[in-house]
Amino acid sequence: MEDRTDNRAKILESAVHLFYQRGYDAVGVQEIALAAGVTKPTLYYYFKSKLGLLEAFLKEWCEPACIRLEEIAAAYQGVPSETLYALACTLVDIAKENREAYFLLLSLNYSARENEAFKAVFPYMRRMFRAMTGFFTGAGDKLGNMNGRQEQFVISFQGIINHYILVMDEREIPPEEFADPHAIWELVRQFMYGIYS
């Protein structure tokens, strides 16, 4: 019995791995089942479709990640740079804990808008965006007059962090290296104070 429920996890794991490696559309369910050591109907028993497989991943992995970020943003207590640093560290931590899952998420976020995979991921990315927008709005008193520039800040901040993580991935830098606290602080510092220092 225990190796049966284990099958579900193995399928999801194989799916994330293959989606990460070659892309959602480029991978067939057949291949996922094969990699998980099961047959296709078993896959369709747990996840009713290929998209259901992706949605299960989002609900079980991405959702908790969203919550972590929302909690940090909500816990803001008056030191913007610390919260920003905490947010950046958490993002990198999430990437470190399950590297493939995080890169899959980013890839999907940057993929074609009418793609069904993108549509499934978009709500989760918007949640993260809104959590941070809320933080910037709340931190307005400490960051000077932002008059509507909160969104621009979030765009930049997210852009910097995500692009950093993606470039680290491209170069196959191991997580323990790219998750270096000092490097992350440098990114945050640069974001806040500019490239002069």
Residue 6 vs 126, nearer CB to its own copies: 126
The helix-helix angle for 80-97 and 63-74 (nearest 10°) equals: 160
Given DNA, its own copies, none, residue 138, with its beta carbon under 5 to 8 Å by kind, binds none
Given DNA, its own copies, none, residue 144, with its beta carbon under 5 to 8 Å by kind, binds its own copies
In 3-state terms, what secondary structure has residue 141?
Answer: coil
Q: Say whether residue 162 binds its own copies (CB under 8 A).
A: yes
Residue 19 vs 157, nearer CB to DNA: 19
Distance CA 36, CA 52 (A): 16
Residue 16 vs 72, nearer CB to its own copies: 16
Neighbours of 83 (CB within 10 A): 23
Show the tokens assigned to 155. 């765009």
Residue 41 vs 196, nearer CB to its own copies: 196
Q: Say whether residue 183 binds DNA (CB under 7 A).
A: no
Sign of the dihedral through C-alpha 185, 191, 196, 197: negative
Q: Which residues of the chain form beta strands (DSSP E)?
A: none
Q: Say whether residue 34 binds its own copies (CB under 8 A).
A: no
The minimum distance between CB 118 and DNA, in angstroms, equals 16
Q: Say whether residue 99 binds its own copies (CB under 8 A).
A: no
Residues that bind DNA (CB under 7 A): 1, 3-5, 7-8, 27-31, 38-42, 44-46, 48-51
